[in-house]
Amino acid sequence: MTAASLTHRPASAGDLGEVITFVENPDELFFAYPKAAWPLTVGQLAAVMAERRDSTVALLDDRVAGFANFYQWQHGESCTLGNLMVAPWARARGVARYLVGVMEQLARHHYKAHSLRISCFNANTAGLLLYTTLGYRPQAIVERRDPRGLRVALVQLEKALE
């Protein structure tokens, strides 16, 4: 059996129909794109992609398996990762870890960023565990409301890229 091959490239409009299938329920959508309305549509994702920078897809054995971008970017300072989504069939196969690493490189090279920031809701256990394993450290906890109006904690994490 051969090892899975992970690569990446800039996301294109043609990828969006596949990417919207990555979120399987309203909670997953809230974790990845809190301002979106369920179900995620190509139009919603295209609009956010136009507002953000460096939308990137990860490919697992040449199949689109992950998506991420930056929703904040400050040249010479920091970038903030957003819309991280992994296809259900590709989860637990290293796609998110790989894609975060790619985004760290993009932040360093495109923006000369000294740090990468990531926000993760308290109920997103997999995300919190992944980010802390990758060296991200909590900086703040901010109160937010979920789509049902319930209080949730948004954990803001950061990692130095130097």
Q: How confident is the model at residue 1 (pLDDT cuts 50, 70, 90)?
A: very low
Identify the pLDDT of residue 99: 98
First vs last C-alpha separation in the chain = 37
Q: How many Å apart are CA 80 and CA 68, to the nearest integer?
A: 11
- pLDDT at residue 10 tops 80: yes
Q: How confident is the model at residue 4 (pLDDT cuts 50, 70, 90)?
A: confident
- pLDDT at residue 87 tops 50: yes
Cβ atoms of residues 29 and 23 within 8 Å = yes
Q: Where is 111: in which H helix or E strand?
A: helix 95-111
Residue 137 makes CB contacts below 8 A (sequence gap 6+) with 157, 158, 159
Q: How many Å apart are CA 152 and CA 18, to the nearest integer?
A: 29
Q: Report which DSSP code applies to 129.
A: H
Identify the pLDDT of residue 136: 98
Identify the pLDDT of residue 110: 97
**Domains by residue range for the chain, with CATH:** 6-114 (3.40.630.30)
Mind listing the pLDDT tens digit for each residue in 104-161? 999 999 999 999 999 999 999 999 999 999 999 999 999 999 999 999 999 999 999 9
Residue 150 makes CB contacts below 8 A (sequence gap 6+) with none
Q: How many Å apart are CA 128 and CA 154, to the nearest integer?
A: 11
Q: How confident is the model at residue 103 (pLDDT cuts 50, 70, 90)?
A: very high
Mind listing the pLDDT tens digit for each residue in 32-70? 999 999 999 999 999 999 999 999 999 999 999 999 999
Identify the pLDDT of residue 2: 46
